[in-house]
A and B are shown apart, each in its own frame.
Chain A
Amino acid sequence: MNNARLGYPHLGYGVGLRTVHFNYILKHNPPVDWFEIVSENFMDSRGRPRYVLSQLAERYPLVMHGVSLSIGSTDPLDFDYLRKLKDLAKEIDAVWVSDHLCWTGSNGHNTHDLLPMPLNEESLAHVVERIRIVQDFLERPLVLENPSTYVGFVSSTIEEWDFIRLMAEEADCGLLLDVNNVYVSSLNHHFDPVHYLKSLPHWRVVQFHLAGHTNYGTHVIDTHDDHVIDPVWELYRLAHELTGGASTLIEWDAKIPDFPTVHAEVLKARDYVAVPTDLLLADSLQTGGDCVVA
C-alpha cells in the first residue's frame, strides 16, 4: 500500500518566509502552521538571516525549497552545494527538501531562472538518474515542483503530467504540486488543468504551492505578486480532494504586502477544502483518475 505523502506529515497552512517579514514574525510570533524558506538565501549566510532562521527553527516547522539544484542540467551535480544543503537541513531540522523540475544553467553559469526541459525519454532518463543520486546523498526523498513554463519544445514527446508521473515513479521522489503553475502553464500551452491534476500520482504529493500570476493576454507569467485567483482556488480544491490533502503554502515574492495579508491569503485554503468540488469539476472527476490514498 502506498504511503501518503511519502510518509511526510501534513503541516497545515504555511507561508514562504521573506526577509521583509522578519521583524514582524520575531515580534508577534504569528500562529502560522509552518514556514518554507528559499534554501539558497540561508545556506551561506553567517549574518542576521541565518540568526533569524535559527530562532524560527525553534518555534515553527521549516521546509527547505531550493531554486538552484538544477536537477535537469547537463552540468555535473554540484556536491559542494548539496553538502551545504544537507548541512542546513540538518541544522534547522527541515521537514523536507524540495526544488523544481528544471535546469538553471549550463557550462558553469547560473541564470537564476527555472528553465524548461524538453519532455522526452532523454530528459526523463537524465532527470531520474540525477534525482536518485541526490536522494542518496541527502539521505531523504527529494520533493520536486512542477514549474511554470512559457515555451514548448519540438522535441518533446511526453505530456508534462505524464513526464512528472513517470519521473516520480521511476525516481521514487515526492511532488510539490504548484497549482498556480498548472493553471499558468495550461493557458500558455493550452492543456486541460483538470486532466493534469487527475493524471498525477496523488499519493506522492507532499505539498501544494499557491500564488498569484500576471496575465498579459498573449501569455501568463508566474509573478507571485498578487492574490490567488478563483480558478486557481478551484483547482486547489480539486487537488485537495484527489490527494486527500497536503501541506499548503502561499508564495508572495513581489509587491509583498504585510505579513497578516499573506497569512490571511493561505488561510483561505481552509474555506475551499471545506466545500466539495463544484459540479463541473466533480463531473470530470468521475471519468477516472488515480486512486487517492490518504
Chain B
Amino acid sequence: MSTSEPDLRTLQHWLQSFITRTGEPPFLVGARHAVPLHAEREAVDQIITRSPSLSAHDRLAIYRHAYLARLKECLRVEFPVLLLTLGEELFALFTSAYLQQYPSCSYTLNRLGENFPRYLAESRPDAAAPEQARESWPDFIVELATLERAFAETFDGEGNEGKPLLDGDRLLGLPLEALLGAHFKTVAGFRIFSFRYPIAAYFNAARNKEKPELPQPSRSYLAMMRRDYVVRLHELTEIQYALLSGLNAGGTMKELAEELDDDAFVGDALQWLGEWAAKGLFAAIELAAGV
C-alpha cells in the first residue's frame, strides 16, 4: 500500500464520517478540521473510484442518503403520534438533528429511539431558562415522545406472560391490617407516569386514526403494562397515582394512609387494589411477618 492510501481503520472512520455527518462541513481523511468542499471532492476521488455515470462523490453520497432515510424511517415507525403532531417537516428536522446528536451505538434498531425524548428535552429552545419561565408546549412534545418510547419498550421488553398474577380474590380473604402493611409487587415491565398534559387521551385518539386537537395543560397520571403481549394503558387519578407509585416503589398502603389522614382513603384504596389486581397489574403480594 502506498503511503497515500489510508489503512482500513482510517478508511472506515473517514467513510463513516462522510456518511453520517450530514450537513456538516466537508473533511479529509485524518483531518481534524473542516475543509473546503472542493477539497473534500478531491479527497473522495483519491479513495473512491468513479463509474461511467456517477462521480466518486455521488457514488458515496448514495450511502449518505440511505443512512439518513433508513434511520429516519425507523423513527417514523416508532413515534407515529409524534409525527402526526409535529408534521412531516418538523419531525424530519428533529430526527435529523437527533441522529447527529445521538448516533446509534447498538446492534439493534430497537434502541434507535431510546434517547429521542431526552434529546427533545435538551434541545427545547428554553432549555436553559428557569422552569417557571419556560413555555409549556415543549413539555407536551417531550411527554408524548416519552410515552411512545415507553410503549415500544413495553411492547418488546420483559413482560409477565407465562408467570403468575396476583389473584384479586386473595385480597378479599385478608384482614385489613394485613393489606395495609402488605407489599405489592407489580408485574414485569410495569411503568407509571405523571404528565403535565392529558397525554393518554391524545395518544389513544391519534392511534385510533382520529385527529385530536392539541390539549391544554392538565396534569394526568398513567400506568402502563403488558398483558397477553398487548400493551395496556390505565389512566389514574392523582390519589391513585400516589398509591400505585408508592406501592411500586416498595411502600405500603398504610404509609400513604398516615400521610393523607383521610378517612375515605382506605376504603377507596381497597377497591382500587381489587380492580388493579383484576387488570393484572400485580404479580404478587408479600405480607408482613406474622400475618
A residues near B (Cβ < 8 Å) are: 40-41, 43-49, 51, 68, 73-74, 78, 81, 103, 105-113, 115, 117-118, 120, 122-123, 126, 150-156, 188-190, 217-219, 221
Query: Contacts of A107 on B, CB cut-off 8 Å?
Result: 13, 16
* Partner-binding segment picked from B58-66, B195-203, B274-282: B58-66
Query: Contacts of A154 on B, CB cut-off 8 Å?
Result: 5, 46-49
* Partner-binding segment picked from B30-38, B141-149, B150-158, B263-271: B150-158
B residues near A (Cβ < 8 Å) are: 1, 5, 7-9, 11-13, 15-16, 19-20, 46-49, 51-54, 56, 58-60, 62-63, 66-67, 70-71, 103-110, 112, 154-159, 161, 226, 229
A68 to B121, CA, bound (A): 30
Partner of B62, one of A81, A117, A150: A150
A48 to B230, CA, bound (A): 8
Query: Contacts of B63 on A, CB cut-off 8 Å?
Result: 113, 115, 150-151
Q: Is the CB of A46 within 8 A of B108?
A: no
Partner of A155, one of B16, B47, B62: B47
Q: Is the CB of A151 within 8 A of B110?
A: no
Q: Closest approach, in angstroms, between the C-beta of B250 and any C-beta of chain A?
A: 23
| Cβ-closest chain B residue relative to A189 | B51
Q: Is the CB of A49 within 8 A of B47?
A: no
Query: Contacts of B110 on A, CB cut-off 8 Å?
Result: 41, 44-45
**Lowest 3 A-B CB distances belong to which pairs?**
A68-B107, A74-B9, A48-B229
Q: Closest approach, in angstroms, between the C-beta of B55 and any C-beta of chain A?
A: 10
| Cβ-closest chain A residue relative to B46 | A154
Q: Is the CB of A40 within 8 A of B108?
A: yes
Q: Closest approach, in angstroms, between the C-beta of A221 and any C-beta of chain B?
A: 7
- Tell me the interface secondary structure of chain A in the complex: loop
A68 to B109, CA, bound (A): 10
Q: Closest approach, in angstroms, between the C-beta of A101 and any C-beta of chain B?
A: 14
Given A46-B158, A49-B156, A108-B105: A113 and B19 interface contact (C-beta under 8 Å): yes
Q: Is the CB of B47 within 8 A of A113?
A: no
A224 to B235, CA, bound (A): 42
Query: Contacts of A51 on B, CB cut-off 8 Å?
Result: 161, 229
| Cβ-closest chain B residue relative to A49 | B156
Query: Contacts of B157 on A, CB cut-off 8 Å?
Result: 46-47
Q: Is the CB of B47 within 8 A of A153?
A: yes
| Cβ-closest chain B residue relative to A40 | B108
Given A111-B20, A113-B67, A188-B51: A219 and B62 interface contact (C-beta under 8 Å): yes
Q: Is the CB of B158 within 8 A of A111?
A: no
Query: Contacts of A153 on B, CB cut-off 8 Å?
Result: 11, 47-49
Query: Contacts of B226 on A, CB cut-off 8 Å?
Result: 47
Q: Is the CB of B49 within 8 A of A46?
A: no
A250 to B84, CA, bound (A): 33
Query: Contacts of A73 on B, CB cut-off 8 Å?
Result: 12
Query: Contacts of B48 on A, CB cut-off 8 Å?
Result: 151-154
Q: Closest approach, in angstroms, between the C-beta of A139 and any C-beta of chain B?
A: 20
A141 to B108, CA, bound (A): 23
Query: Contacts of B161 on A, CB cut-off 8 Å?
Result: 51
A5 to B112, CA, bound (A): 36
| Cβ-closest chain B residue relative to A106 | B12
Query: Contacts of A105 on B, CB cut-off 8 Å?
Result: 16, 104
